[in-house]
Structure 1
Amino acid sequence: MTAVHDVALEGGGHAFRVRVYPAAQPNGALLVWLHGGAFMFGTLEMPEADQVGRRLSADGVTVISVDYTLAPLDALEALAPPSEDAGFPSPEQLRAEAEAAGPRARFPVASLQIVEAFDWAVANAARFGAHPGRVALGGASAGANLSAGAAMRLRDRGTIAPALLALVYPSLHDAILPPNAELARLLEDVPPARIFTPESRDAINRNYLPDGIDPQGYAFPGGHDVAGLPPVLMVNAELDSLRASGEAFAAELARASVDVHVVRQRGAMHGYLNEIGDPAAERTLALLTDAVSTTAGPEA
């Protein structure tokens, strides 16, 4: 069996790498996966990346985890100090991690790298016992945003598309959408450090896309033409100000006749895939495994 290993690639004018988690007993499916981190931080070692790779590959799905080029740190001060409970890093650890990253770049660099990583996965799928038509694409938080934007690029390019798009607690619109009454009540009891506010989200988004110009929706797919996207698994955290974006995007998909399966992880806050053993994380890992494993793909 091939061991976990890194592969150097280039996209958007920058070098980057992918980490391959070969399936122990391949079932023919492959997932290209992207961690989150407000476009500014995150690593292949964080549970949101590594846990997904290790758990799904143990269940037959080869995972390609993408170490995409991160955006500059200009918006870091706009974020609330991260919670130190449930295994989340301290502010000092987060800053050290962010400053240790390599060269940085804004949109569209990471977006173009995701397309390159997807193309590499399709071209090399057979090496890992996967079918080129059964390559899924997905991510968490900012990684979910990047996945959806790349899926729109691939749709517009008109060649092979992902067999499935998996979006976990995504931010898909260029703003915090207003919560409904139910979500607003729930957010009152969430620690402030675990909530994105309109101000912090705006700082993050303008750090990633300074001028806000996004005619095709490749940076923020919400509110754009989503017709022709592949089937979507949407997993939202119940206690998350970004849930309004995920639910609105799911409605946009349904109106565009895109198959979408929406799951709300009850009692879960944003970022729960970084909490090893968290019940919502366990349920989401099972959902991802099942969805990626059972999708046939357009060419399978």
Structure 2
Amino acid sequence: MPIHPAVSGKFPLIEGVSSFEQLLFDPAYRDRFAEFNRPAVGGPPPVVPTRADSAPGPHGPVPIRIYTPEDAGGDRPCVVWMHGGAFRIGDLDMPEADWVARELVTRAGAVVVSVDYRLAVGGVTHPVPLDDVVAAVRWTRDHAADLGVDRVHVGGASAGGNLAAGAALRLRDEDGWTPASLVLAYPVLHPELPPRSPSLVARMAEVPPILHFPPHEVRAITENYLGGPVSRADGYAMPGLASLEGLCPTLLLTAEYDDLRGSGQVFVGQLAEAGVDVRYVQVLSMLHGFLNLPSAIEPVGRALDLIAETIVAHDPAFVST
């Protein structure tokens, strides 16, 4: 399917840009990047009650933001959600964190706990971000009654999906507990990307180079997170290396136009081989990071509905696809 026009229509704004860092930090490109990120369609996300809190963690308090329905009460689901950003950028205000949380409160009647984990900058490396996420999930699980929820799901996007899966594995092994389900959006779960299929190579030819994830850049992101070579990775840092038996039901979404989707596809196969109940959906016409786009863009709205349906279910059950 062609790239969605709400996305491809913005491509002229990033012509001639040589690196993502240039977009982020070069003042000459600041206005163009702001326009590129400005939604082409749709209005603001839903307004829902929020409050700030923190979870105690081994590296200090972990800031969290709690989103609740207007009529919050018992017998509700909760999802602990982690934003992406290559482990080194992102915050609770980015759309992939804030908009997603507001949409899930509205669509699923869920409580959402969004986690401001420590980023891999300034000498911070694995396992610190993962420790923060594990601490936030434990806090949510242990405060379920106070939050008015009866089941806890865990999810995240991109690097946040990696952290969500790593946290589920840690909690399985250390606490003998797993979330009600795991929701992963366009995650990277392996220290090295699987080779791209011919069809993916053809699709990525339609995407500006600045929006690609070539292997050397993915390796640099991974090494920055690990604080050293990719050989340091274990199954908690890169869940594609882990034993996956006993993991909870998992919904995994990838984008059609995304160099990274091979990692998610391989992980789906690993989950199925391990006997984990898994559902895989490729979101057509979208690029990596599509949860930063407004839900008025139909594929994004449908993806949010899939996530909402998963976290509403008391006992998520999927058929592998």
TM class by shorter-chain length? 0.7 to 0.9
Structure 2 unmatched ranges of 5 or more: 1-47, 317-321
Give the aligned partner of residue 233 of structure 1: 251
8 Å contact from structure 1 (residues 70, 104) kept in 2: no
Match for residue 102 of structure 2 among 25, 48, 54: 54
Match for residue 117 of structure 1 among 125, 130, 136: 136
Q: Distance in 1 between matches of 2:233 and 2:124?
A: 20
Q: Distance in 2 between matches of 1:204 and 1:14?
A: 25
Q: Does 1:264 align with 2:312?
A: no
8 Å contact from structure 1 (residues 20, 63) kept in 2: yes
Give the aligned partner of residue 82 of structure 2: 34
Instruction: Tell me the SS of whatever aligns to 1:138.
Output: strand
Q: Does 1:275 align with 2:293?
A: yes
Higher gyration radius (CA): 2
| Superposed CA offset, 1:207-245 (max 9, x none) | 000143456411001133111110000001010011100
Structure 1 unmatched ranges of 5 or more: 73-102
In structure 2, give the amino acid aligned to 1:137. V
Q: Distance in 2 between matches of 1:113 and 1:15?
A: 8
Q: TM-score, normalised by structure 2?
A: 0.78
8 Å contact from structure 2 (residues 236, 242) kept in 1: no
Q: Does 1:9 align with 2:9?
A: no
| Superposed CA offset, 1:251-277 (max 9, x none) | 000000000000000111001111123
Deviation at 1:13, TM superposition (A): 1.5
Larger mean Cα displacement after TM superposition, 255-264 or 117-126: 117-126
- The 5 A counterparts of 1:56-205 are 56-59=104-107, 60-72=109-121, 105-131=124-150, 134-205=151-222
Q: Distance in 2 between matches of 1:183 and 1:107?
A: 30
Matched residues, number: 264
Instruction: Tell me the SS of whatever aligns to 1:273.
Output: helix
Q: TM-score, normalised by structure 1?
A: 0.84
Larger mean Cα displacement after TM superposition, 252-261 or 281-290: 281-290
Instruction: Tell me the SS of whatever aligns to 2:224.
Output: helix
| Superposed CA offset, 1:26-57 (max 9, x none) | 55200000000000000100110001111111
Q: Percent identity?
A: 40
Runs of 4+ in 1 over 4 A off after TM superposition: 213-216
Q: CA RMSD in A?
A: 1.7
Instruction: Tell me the SS of whatever aligns to 2:303.
Output: helix
Q: Distance in 2 between matches of 1:214 and 1:174?
A: 9
Larger mean Cα displacement after TM superposition, 205-214 or 267-276: 205-214
Larger mean Cα displacement after TM superposition, 250-259 or 206-215: 206-215
Q: Distance in 2 between matches of 1:71 and 1:122?
A: 26
Kindly tell me: are residues 230 and 214 of structure 1, through their superposed partners in 2, closer, same or farther at Cα, counting changes over 3 Å? Answer: farther
Instruction: Tell me the SS of whatever aligns to 1:31.
Output: strand
Q: Distance in 1 between matches of 2:254 and 2:185?
A: 6
In structure 2, give the amino acid aligned to 1:273. L
Kindly tell me: are residues 50 and 11 of structure 1, through their superposed partners in 2, closer, same or farther at Cα, counting changes over 3 Å? Answer: same
